Structure 1
């Protein structure tokens, strides 16, 4: 769902505001990072995050608007000092934007010398006789959504900060829209007087504004999953049902309480579980075998009861993952020895606890993953306990090409910068997909890791000037991983 409106001459589009708010429950969501504004505004950033307060959890909307060069990151500050607006500066700026390493070194070197000279002359210190003044404060409000933002103005006018809080249970897409309006209002106040100071500009607030690079699996999103379009589509539907309880209640519908994901090792079942939690905006709790199985009689049963007792008390959306589910309750009903009886006891309690979990606490969804679905008794995963069963297969050739594309794009976005290119042009992803027959997403990630390590070691030995990763490098890594000549 996209909302569009005009403000100060600019067109603003907010795409899937509910999804942005849900994602902010787990990780801060940064918006407007790539937006540009008329001078003197150099940057405006809006962040949506979650925080705990004495009154309960809240969504925090915070923004910073800067007109100061000194407030930019160090590299941008240096370049702003050196490049200027003269023809040489413009030429250098274009060369840097094109990734010219020589131009980058020239500017960085001259810029460093310039900053050192400023510091030596004392020009980086505040002028004597001009003591710092206290920042001014005010309040901006949007009457439509009932949102009030506290505003702090730096005394010299170089920095404006806005902050608003809304209780998590009360937050709505209208609050995000209101905060965007207030940020644009604060920006407009810093611009030259005009009836439409942002005329002709377009700002899109969407998932594309959310950083796509996951530095850890905790931050992975469904958008980053490649080669599993059908699986991702099904998980998106589950996330929608979780995020819209009012629609479920209106129709008397019950969203899935449990999901079983099964398939070969390395196909991304655990990653998909984390991505689903982030899509919902849920906390993530992973249960591993040692947390349940206990060598003492009755210990395992107590552990499983405690896990579900805690689950009934969660007051925020929570995804509970039972990874390697078969190792916890495998072969239920088989055998009459003491070990089998203990396993049966754990499985029996698991069934009882799952029976009414969704009625007691609809904030919780349970995901179980296994490489060996035949080891799990059918009564454990019947409908009503695990309503959705998803096969996560090895990717086909088209899927492997998509995995290569997404992983390479994420690595480039994370590490490339002016003067450093990680991957060469002309990569043939279709050929890599053909060569990697039978590989999983984990295998492809390992092939890339080996190439990255080889390039890093070469860089360490030579002191830089290493060629980007080529098609030949990637193909060799795939062949070596598969044991091919």
Structure 2
């Protein structure tokens, strides 16, 4: 059985300078790197002054033959005047700052305008005072080499001109590369981190090297990433391309290219359209602003039109990357019909203003991208979603059998990463994901999540009644939950 058939990730754990490092599916990582670069070590927390570590495995052709390349970039400074840094400057930890942060989290447009306005002023002041210049690391900035004698790997160490980023690079012939080389390069990367942070700085920390971003605590919808999405590889690939175009405006400008301004996602309920929108926002590093029907539709004449105008007026003032989601788009902007009654006229007025506001949004504020989702694309007028307004249209179908197996795998692995601990095993080792996928014909990702929720609840209740004498979740229990949710056929 291939690794994709296992619910439990097969990882090897090793210790380095007091830190625990788990290397998940190293052979799969190396195989995938032959086709596309694979990023590891994302979303880890590092001791000061290190802010971020990017570790990538890829492939390249050299005169002597193909090689696997290992690269790491250790950054000791926040991105100058990034969204997070500006927010920290403005909000702080005082009661007013905490209150504003909660209001922004809830999508309050007034609080957002206040903070964005103050943030813009703070950013300008920091630039004038020269405080946006990153600090330089304390380590030596002379290029050098570090090595792992066990596998004979050498990595060159260089520093960028600003002195804030340390880079490691190593190459191994493709025919000779093994998981031991990946482990060795991870150790060399941590060695470079220690040189910046101190010999005891990594003690007690845990790092996971994985193609997938697995949560170390209970995951929430807000934390979802594209790596967590199962069964939609083509859609995820397109969203990654959009995120790259959003994060690199300088490349867009160099070629006179314009990234997509709007994305329409359509498909049956429960296929993950809203989740994908949040994952895209997290991939970009953008704020997530969800606009629901009650924020727009108003029973008073002209109220809905005013609400649409205000939403886009706010959007033009955002000073940080922001993804605006119009969920259930068909219920907000229904079909612009030709009826002469008052209701049809009101619908046409709202649709008309939406079209006007979308026409120049990207020129007015390149920090904003608009996503609309709908279960009923035929209810949306074509003129609303034409190219130039919504340049990308993505069909989000129900998952097929292979996709359902991947969804089960990713959801179960996320639960294992979040909840299993020494002495507690959540799932049995012999789960058959292919059988689960076959049994769950017609289910969506939301349905599979409900299957797992029901089994988890049943186990928790059994745990409460028996005082902890509960076996791990078995294949038969999962199949029973699938049958229960599908109902009689």
Query: 1:340, CA displacement in angstroms?
Result: 1.1
CA distance in 2, matches of 1:321, 1:279: 15
The question of whether the paired residues in 2 share the 8 Å contact of 1:332 and 1:347 is answered with yes
Q: Which of 206, 225, 231 pairs up with 1:227?
A: 231
Query: 1:50, CA displacement in angstroms?
Result: 2.2
**Equivalent residue number for residue 148 of structure 1:** 136
Q: How does 1:57-206 map to 2 (within 5 A)?
A: 147-148=135-136, 175=164, 177=166, 183-187=193-197
> SS at 1:321's partner residue?
strand
Q: How does 1:388-403 map to 2 (within 5 A)?
A: 388-403=392-407
Q: 1:312 to 1:277 in 2, by over 3 A?
A: same
In the alignment, structure 1 residue 50 sits paired with structure 2 residue 38: no
CA distance in 1, matches of 2:349, 2:197: 63
Query: 1:174, CA displacement in angstroms?
Result: 7.4
Q: 1:310 to 1:16 in 2, by over 3 A?
A: farther
**Larger Rg belongs to:** 1
CA distance in 2, matches of 1:251, 1:206: 34
**Equivalent residue number for residue 339 of structure 2:** 335
**Equivalent residue number for residue 129 of structure 1:** none
1:124-176 residue CA offsets vs partner (Å, 9 max, x unmatched):
xxxxxxxxxxxxxxxxxxxxx9633699xxxxxxxxxxxxxxxxxxx999745
Q: How does 1:21-60 map to 2 (within 5 A)?
A: 50-52=84-86
Q: What runs of 5+ residues in structure 2 fail to find an aligned partner? A: 1-16, 18-36, 55-75, 93-132, 140-159, 168-188, 202-206
**Equivalent residue number for residue 244 of structure 1:** 248
Give the CA RMSD over aligned residues.
Answer: 3.7
Q: 1:17 to 1:281 in 2, by over 3 A?
A: farther
In the alignment, structure 1 residue 476 sits paired with structure 2 residue 480: yes
Query: 1:246, CA displacement in angstroms?
Result: 0.8
CA distance in 2, matches of 1:481, 1:47: 50
The question of whether the paired residues in 2 share the 8 Å contact of 1:220 and 1:271 is answered with yes
CA distance in 1, matches of 2:330, 2:217: 32
The question of whether the paired residues in 2 share the 8 Å contact of 1:258 and 1:365 is answered with yes
CA distance in 2, matches of 1:244, 1:369: 25
Query: 1:425, CA displacement in angstroms?
Result: 1.1
Q: What runs of 5+ residues in structure 1 fail to find an aligned partner? A: 1-7, 9-14, 33-45, 59-144, 152-170, 192-202
The question of whether the paired residues in 1 share the 8 Å contact of 2:293 and 2:332 is answered with yes
In the alignment, structure 1 residue 449 sits paired with structure 2 residue 447: no
TM-score normalised according to structure 2 size = 0.63
TM-score normalised according to structure 1 size = 0.63
CA distance in 1, matches of 2:459, 2:281: 35
The question of whether the paired residues in 2 share the 8 Å contact of 1:31 and 1:205 is answered with no
Q: 1:478 to 1:205 in 2, by over 3 A?
A: closer
Q: How does 1:251-262 map to 2 (within 5 A)?
A: 251-262=255-266
The question of whether the paired residues in 1 share the 8 Å contact of 2:136 and 2:164 is answered with no
Q: 1:56 to 1:398 in 2, by over 3 A?
A: same
Q: Which of 387, 390, 414 pairs up with 1:386?
A: 390
The question of whether the paired residues in 2 share the 8 Å contact of 1:256 and 1:387 is answered with yes
1:440-471 residue CA offsets vs partner (Å, 9 max, x unmatched):
00000001000000000001111111000000
> SS at 1:374's partner residue?
helix
Query: 1:209, CA displacement in angstroms?
Result: 7.3
Q: Which of 366, 370, 378 pairs up with 1:362?
A: 366
1:412-443 residue CA offsets vs partner (Å, 9 max, x unmatched):
11110000000001100000000000000000
